[in-house]
Amino acid sequence: MQLNETLALMNGRSVAEHVGKAVRDVLPAIAPTLEPLLARILETGEAALNIELSGETPAQPGITRYWRASYFPLAAEPGHADGIGAIVVEDTPRRHAERALRRSGADYRAIVEQATYGIYRSSLEGRFLKVNPALVAMLGYETEAQVLALQLDRDVYVDPAERARAIAQARPLERVTGVQVQWKRRDGHHITVRLSGRVVRSERGDIKGFEMIAEDVTEQRALERALHQAQKMETIGRLTSGIAHDFNNLLTVILAQGNLMAKALPDGTAELRRDLEELTDAARRGAELVHRLLGFSRHETLDLRPLSAPEWIREELHTLRRLLPASIEIQCDAEPEAGVVDADSGALEQILLNLATNARDAMPEGGTLHLDVRRTRLDAEDRPLHAWVEPGVYVCIAVSDTGVGMDRQTQAHVFEPFFTTKPAGVGTGLGMAMVYGLVKQHTGYVHLYSEVGQGTTVKLYLPLAHEQPLPSGPSGEEEMLPGGTDAILLVEDDPHLRAVAQRLFEKVGYRVFAAADGQEGLTLYRAHTAGVDLVITDMVMPKISGMQLYETIRAAEPPHKRMKVLFTSGYPAADFRQSLDGDPDVAFVTKPWTASELLRQIRQLLEK
């Protein structure tokens, strides 16, 4: 063979070392491919272009190299090839680049594997065909195989009709962006999921399936709702204050003119005078109403002064006692060191009286009004349950009753001005609107928890006054939420609360078994007794109550190995607490709880 220097160097040898030798001698590694190829070219006289070759060279054993070569028949006479000419290009660098690319292709796979978003491919019939680990976790399963066995209509979509609608919408489209659907997790929790991705079609254009990214936006939706509620109140506030100001002016004119007329009335017009008095009386009542409206819409200026919340509440007890009938018992738990807030004592009293009046109206047969004052923290973690809170240290004043409670519908509207369920003439529907407005003026928050037939708790959060020294640590705000790796059995029938609590626990490291009622809680407890470190249970639940669950657990366990139980409850449970006094492995948190309260109580119980 003859060759040029470049080709000789490719093979790691000199030109002289090749000349006159057979292919098999100089290129033993590729000879098996090359020899038949060359034979065919000689036979057919046809060129072979862009042939890919690879192998080791004698000069560099152990390293695979790549070449691209084209072979042409060399013929002295047309049709009679007697030699072969070759152009050979070293292809190793390109192949290496390709390999690197394939490796970065593997990185794409890694991205899918490690993505925090769920990524899946599904069939039109409603099966997952491929899922990434994030999707498995999002749905609360352990393995990919479990998820591949699911039927989307039955096991994933809360409402199968929603999937049908989403598909119908996707029909004319190439891609789907931001469709929100309700899915359910393995444990039955509902989650809001945002789907974006590609519609996969057959060659004929029929939908075959979907390639989607699924994002769990449950928490985000809760935040949006809270923000929306705050905006709604803001708008109503502006609207009412505008009307109230105009009304105030009108009423001032009516009252002033009425007074002038009364003075000008001649003697012997007693009847007229009475009518006029009624007129001015009505105007005065109107003025009072406007005053309350303005209170709601934050147009009255407050006189903020430092005030010790626990001392203040003790002083208010007398007023409350006078306001409430004897059938209502008043209890008060106030941490003496709960803290000082900057508050207008008149406004604070109005808030309290409004809450107490509502509590009274909710307990026509009597009951308990419970006041509780303590210092607490609000964290970003509390936002899904507690409007748009500013994290920080607060004094929480909780007012609970054992009254009729409110259904969801009522709870959604309580704070709106003029919303009342009371007969005309009894309620104006301004009480809670005022509470909301006044608390807002104190840069605080109002949170409400209520269960029909059980009672209601309203919690006011007022920021701790600035000059107040913080108890321990540099600043309460920088404290970490206490967590752990223990296993918690969470029994809560409100799906939203349950989901928020579960997320919170998991976020700080706990393992969570979640149950939707006492019965399920008991089943889970029995199945995992040894694996559960603490039980958190709601008090009022369908089937088996928290108390029954507690009693069953205590009855079944050996005395030396007692389960820690944390009760959550929305209303005062003084009697209940008493009946458990002496059980050191029990604690209470009142709803609506905050992340820091709940996590602190859990730690305290676990470390006992």
Ligand X SMILES: Nc1ncnc2c1ncn2[C@@H]1O[C@H](COP(=O)(O)OP(=O)(O)OP(=O)(O)O)[C@@H](O)[C@H]1O
Burial 412-437 (b: 16+ CB within 10 A, else e): eebbbbebbeeeeeebbebbbbbbbb
Instruction: Name which position in 94, 228, 232, 422 contacts ligand X (CB under 6 A).
Output: 422
Of ligand X, Mg ion, none, which one sits near residue 196, judging by CB under 5 to 8 A according to partner kind? none
CA-CA distance, 138 to 121, in Å (whole number)?
A: 15
* Least gap, CB of 278 to Mg ion (angstroms): 26
Binding residues for Mg ion restricted to 394-433, rule: CB under 5 A: 431
Residues in binding contact with ligand X, number by CB under 6 A? 23
CB of 424 to ligand X, least distance (A): 11
Residue choice 297, 358, 400, 596 for contact with Mg ion (CB under 5 A): 358
Q: In whole angstroms, how close is the CB of 118 to Mg ion at the nearest point?
A: 46
Residue 367 as a binder of ligand X (CB under 6 A): the answer is no
Task: Give, in order, the Cα–Cα distances in Å from 466 to each of 12, 212, 309, 312.
Answer: 81, 50, 14, 18
SS3 per-residue string spanning 68-117? EEEEEEEEEECCEEEEEEEEEEECHHHHHHHHHHHHHHHHHHHHHHHCCC
For residue 511, list its beta bridge partners: 487
Does the protein bind ligand X through residue 419 (CB under 6 A)?
Answer: yes
Instruction: Give me the sign of the Cα torsion angle 582, 586, 590, 596.
Output: positive
Nearer to Mg ion by Cβ, of 57 and 358: the residue is 358
C-alpha to C-alpha distances, 332 to 9, 44, 319, 363, 376, nearest whole angstrom: 96, 106, 14, 18, 17
Q: What is the DSSP string of 117-145?
A: SEEEEEETTSBEEEE-HHHHHHTT-S-HH
CB of 362 to ligand X, least distance (A): 3
The partner in contact with residue 428, picked from Mg ion, ligand X, none with C-beta cut-offs of 5 to 8 angstroms by kind, is ligand X
Using the rule CB under 6 A, is 350 a contact of ligand X? no
Our CB check for ligand X shows the closer of 378 and 406 to be: 406
User: Is the CB of 392 or the CB of 427 nearer to ligand X?
Assistant: 427
Q: β-strands 455-463, 367-378: how paired?
A: unpaired
- Answer with the entry of Mg ion, ligand X, none that 401 interacts with (C-beta below 5 to 8 A by kind): ligand X
Can residue 57 be called a binding residue for ligand X (CB under 6 A)?
A: no
- Which entry of Mg ion, ligand X, none binds 419, CB below 5 to 8 A by partner kind? ligand X
CB 168 within 8 A of CB 179: no
Nearest distance, CB of residue 455 and ligand X, angstroms: 7
Question: For ligand X, which stretch binds (CB under 6 A), given 101-109, 133-141, 276-284, 419-427?
Answer: 419-427
Residue partners of 514: CB distance under 8 A and separation at least 6: 187, 189, 490, 491, 492, 498, 502
Q: Please report how close the Cβ of residue 564 comes to ligand X at its closest, in angstroms.
A: 32
Phi, psi (rounded to 5 degrees) for 187: -85, 5
Beta strands in 217-301 (DSSP E): none
Considering beta carbons, is residue 461 or 525 the nearer one to ligand X? 461
Interacting partner of 522 out of Mg ion, ligand X, none (Cβ under 5 to 8 A depending on kind): none
Nearer to ligand X, 457 or 502 (CB): 457
Length, in residues, of the chain: 608
Q: Which is nearer to ligand X, 16 or 424 (CB)?
A: 424
**From the list 248, 421, 545, 552, which residue makes contact with ligand X (rule: CB under 6 A)?**
421
Lookup: tokens for 420: 């009342």
What secondary structure, in 3-state letters, does 275-287 show? Answer: HHHHHHHHHHHHH
Closest Cα partner for 362 from 316, 313, 406? Answer: 406
What is the x/- site pattern for ligand X, positions 444-463, by CB under 6 A? ------------x-------
- Which of 362, 397, 497, 504 lies at the binding interface for ligand X (CB under 6 A)? 362
Report what 410 binds from ligand X, Mg ion, none; CB cut-off 5-8 Å by kind. Answer: ligand X
Q: Which of 57, 122, 368, 420 binds ligand X (CB under 6 A)?
A: 420
Q: Are 518 and 491 in contact (CB under 8 A)?
A: yes
Binding ligand X (rule: CB under 6 A), the pick from 69, 139, 341, 430 is 430
Phi, psi of 344 (to 5 degrees): -95, 110
User: From CA 136, how far away is CA 151, in angstroms rounded?
Assistant: 14
Between 67 and 445, name the residue whose CB sits nearer to ligand X.
445
- Segment contacting ligand X by CB under 6 A, of 43-51, 254-262, 390-398, 427-435: 427-435
> What backbone phi and psi angles, to 5 degrees, belong to 250?
-60, -45
Choose the one of ligand X, Mg ion, none that binds residue 601, judging by a C-beta under 5 to 8 angstroms depending on kind.
none
Contact residues toward Mg ion (CB under 5 A) are: 358, 431
Contact residues toward ligand X (CB under 6 A) are: 354, 358-359, 362, 401, 403-406, 410, 414, 419-422, 427-433, 456
